[in-house]
Amino acid sequence: MESKKTLVLGVIGSDVHAVGNKILEVSFQEAGFNVVNLGVLVSQKEFVEAALETNADAIMVSSLYGHGEIDVRGLREALIEAGIGDILMYIGGYLVVGSQEWSEVENKFKQLGFDRVYPPSTLPEDVIPTLRADLGI
């Protein structure tokens, strides 16, 4: 277990979409990761604290209700405060309301501190190779 890379996974904010979260948990586990799944309705504080206690290698944030931008604002800063500011961080889901240009959305979330930003309907297998590369495995 110790040699596996640890991912902290959760759906941020007042968001109760639980199904995709379970699919991600199983997919990442099958890909050989140690997954700490915080489930739904996860606050920034819970992401930071779980990453700290588990010495996580990456944080995987989901948001499916369009309010993601408000929920994640300040998360990178909170991680910096907690002393783990350089941790890898991904986000995916229905990140904004309405049809906005994807490149703008991606850019916005990168500025908010995410290393990778994924649009709706991204499959786990599209993400896992990139994640492995980013983690150097």
Partner 1 sequence: MSEIILVDIGSTFTKVTAVDLSTAQLISQANAPTTPEDVSIGLQNAFDQLGLPHEVIMGARKLACSSAAGGLRMVAIGLVEDLTAKAAKQAALGAGARVLKTYSFQLTEADLAEIEQLQPDIILLAGGTDGGNTANILHNAQALASLSQGVPIVIAGNRSVGPEVSKCFPERFSTYLAPNVMPQIGKLEVEPAREVIRKVFMEKIIFAKGLNKAERLIEGIFMPTPAAVLRAGRLLSEGTDLTKGWGDLLIVDVGGATTDVHSLGSGSPSKAGVVPRGLPEPYAKRTVEGDLGMRVSVLPLVEAINPAVLARDLNWEQEKVEKRAKELSVRPELLPQNPEEVAFDHALGYRAVHLAVGRHVGRLSELYTPSGLVWMQDGKDLSPVNKVIGTGGVMVNSQHAHSMLKGAEQQPETPLELRPERPRYFLDGKYILAPMGLLAEDYPEVALKILKDSLNDHELARRD
Angle between helices 19-30 and 124-134 (to 10 degrees): 50
What is the pairing mode between strands 88-93 and 58-63?
parallel
**Least gap, CB of 112 to partner 1 (angstroms):** 20
Q: How far apart are CA 42 and CA 46, in angstroms?
A: 6
Positions touching partner 1 (CB under 8 A) are 1-2, 6, 8, 14-16, 34, 36, 38, 40-41, 45, 49-50, 52-56, 65-67
**Least gap, CB of 55 to partner 1 (angstroms):** 4
**Least gap, CB of 28 to partner 1 (angstroms):** 15
Of residues 16 and 137, the one with the C-beta less far from partner 1: 16
Of residues 56 and 125, the one with the C-beta less far from partner 1: 56
Is 17 labeled as catalytic in the residue annotation?
yes
> Residue 61: which of 76, 83, 80 has the closest Cα?
76
Beta strands in 40-103 (DSSP E): 58-63, 88-93
In the chain, the amino acid numbered 70 is: I
**Catalytic residue positions, numbered:** 15, 17
